[in-house]
C-alpha cells in the first residue's frame, strides 16, 4: 500500500498531466480495434480472460446509443480506456444492468439516472510509468455523472479493487461479487449517491472538476434522438453554462 505522501504526490502530478491527456471517443474501426486489443492484453495479464486467437474483447454494449467508449491518450499514445453507459427508464442496457438488474431496474423504474463505467483497462506495459492513470481515466465517469445529472454512479469491479473506489469516489458495495459472462473472475457492484458525494470528492481531489464545455465536447451527440427527459434537461443546462 502506498503511503499518504506518495498518494498526495501522485495526485498532484495527475493535475499536471491533465494538460497532456487527450480523451478521445472511439469512433473509427481502427480506434475501436485498438481499444478492444488493449482490453484483451490487460485482462489476459491479470488472468481475467482466456487466451484468444482474436486478441480482442468487445461485447454487445460497445455500440449502443447510451454508451461512449473512450481512449485515454498521453503524448499521442493510448494508455487506458473506459466505456461509459448511461442508464435511464428508457435506456436499460449495460454490463451492470445485465449482472445486477434486480438492484438497478427498480431504481430506473423510479426515474433515476445511473452512470455505469465499465471495461476500465490500462496498458499493462505503460501503467507503471503513470500510477495516476486510474484517476485520469475514471475522471471521465465523474464528468458523465455531471453532464447527465446522475443520481447514482456505479463501479463494477473485483473485490481487490474496491478499496480504491471506496477511498476516491466514496463508493459503497451494494452487491457481492458474482460471475459475469466472458470473465474468469467475479465482480461486485459498488455505487455512490452522486449529488450527495460530489462536493466531498471535489474537495479532496480538485482535478475531478471539469467545465461544462469539456463535458459537452465529450458527451454531446448531434442529432441524437429519444434523449430521456432527465438527461435532456442536464444536456440543455450544460449547453448554456459557461463553466461550473
Buried b (16+ CB within 10 A) or exposed e, 120-136: bbbbeeebeebbbbbbb
Sheet with strand 152-157: strands edge to edge: 21-25, 67-74, 77-87, 114-122, 152-157, 187-193, 172-178
Over range 196-220, report the average pLDDT: 95
pLDDT value of position 244: 38
Q: How far apart are CA 88 and CA 72, in angstroms?
A: 26
19-236 has which CATH code? 3.40.630.30
- Phi, psi angles (nearest 5°) of residue 170: 60, 35
pTM equals: 0.84
pLDDT tens, position by position, 90-122: 999 999 999 999 999 999 999 999 999 999 999
Structural domain spans, the chain: 19-236
Nearest CA-CA partner of 187 in 10, 46, 21 = 46
Amino acid at each position: 500500500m502506498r503511503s499518504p505522501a506518495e498518494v498526495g504526490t501522485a495526485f498532484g502530478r495527475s493535475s499536471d498531466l491533465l494538460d497532456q491527456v487527450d480523451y478521445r471517443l472511439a469512433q473509427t474501426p481502427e480506434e475501436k480495434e485498438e481499444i478492444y486489443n488493449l482490453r484483451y492484453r490487460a485482462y489476459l495479464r491479470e488472468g481475467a480472460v482466456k487466451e484468444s486467437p482474436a486478441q480482442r474483447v468487445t461485447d454487445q454494449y460497445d455500440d449502443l446509443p447510451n454508451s461512449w467508449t473512450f481512449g485515454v491518450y498521453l503524448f499521442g499514445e493510448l494508455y487506458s480506456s473506459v466505456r461509459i453507459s448511461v442508464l435511464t427508464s428508457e435506456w436499460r442496457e449495460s454490463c451492470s444492468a445485465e449482472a445486477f438488474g434486480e438492484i438497478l431496474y427498480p431504481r430506473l423504474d423510479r426515474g433515476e439516472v445511473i452512470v455505469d463505467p465499465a471495461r476500465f483497462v490500462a496498458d499493462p506495459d505503460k501503467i507503471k510509468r503513470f500510477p495516476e492513470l486510474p484517476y485520469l481515466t475514471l475522471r471521465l465517469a465523474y464528468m458523465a455523472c455531471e453532464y447527465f445529472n446522475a443520481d447514482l454512479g456505479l463501479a463494477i469491479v473485483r473485490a481487490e479493487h474496491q478499496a480504491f473506489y471506496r477511498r476516491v469516489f466514496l463508493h459503497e458495495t451494494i452487491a457481492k461479487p458474482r460471475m459475469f459472462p466472458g470473465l474468469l473472475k467475479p465482480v461486485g457492484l459498488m455505487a455512490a449517491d452522486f449529488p450527495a458525494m460530489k462536493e466531498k470528492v471535489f474537495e479532496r481531489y480538485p482535478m475531478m472538476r471539469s467545465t461544462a464545455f469539456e463535458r459537452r465536447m465529450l458527451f454531446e451527440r448531434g442529432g441524437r434522438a429519444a434523449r430521456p427527459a432527465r438527461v435532456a434537461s442536464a444536456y440543455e443546462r450544460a449547453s448554456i453554462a459557461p463553466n461550473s
